[in-house]
Amino acid sequence: MPAGPNVTSQAARSSRTKATIGIALVAGIFLGAAAVGSLAWVFSSNPRAGTLSRLWSGISGRTLHIDISQPTIVDRIQKLQRLETVVYTMDKIVSGSKQNAVFPDFLTGDRVLLLVHGDVVAGIDFSDLKARDVRVSAKEVHLHMPAAEIFSTRLDSAKTRVYSRQTGWLVPADPNLETLARQEAERMLQQDAQADGILKNAQENAEVAVRGLLQGLGFETVVFN
Q: What angle do CA 178, 181, 183 make, to 5 degrees?
A: 115
Contacts with 128 (C-beta within 8 Å, 6 or more apart), sequence order: 146
Q: What angle do CA 186, 190, 195 make, to 5 degrees?
A: 145
Q: For the chain, 225 residues long, give each residue's pLDDT as a single digit of tens.
A: 444 445 445 554 555 555 555 565 555 555 555 554 554 554 455 555 455 555 545 555 555 444 556 677 888 888 888 999 999 998 988 888 888 888 887 787 888 888 999 999 999 999 888 889 999 988 899 999 999 999 999 999 889 888 888 887 888 888 888 888 999 999 999 999 999 999 999 999 999 999 999 998 889 999 998
CA atoms of 119 and 52, how far apart (whole Å):
64
Residue 103 DSSP class: S
CA atoms of 224 and 145, how far apart (whole Å):
7
The count of other CB atoms within 10 Å of the CB of residue 200 is 13
Please, what sign has the CA dihedral across residues 26, 29, 34, 37? negative
Q: What is the pTM of this model?
A: 0.63
Q: 186-189: long-range contacts at Cβ-Cβ below 8 A with a sequence spacing of 24 or more?
A: 186/118, 186/153, 186/154, 186/155, 188/92, 188/94, 189/88, 189/90, 189/92, 189/116, 189/118, 189/119, 189/120, 189/153, 189/155
R_g of the chain computed on alpha carbons: 39
Q: 13-19: long-range contacts at Cβ-Cβ below 8 A with a sequence spacing of 24 or more?
A: none
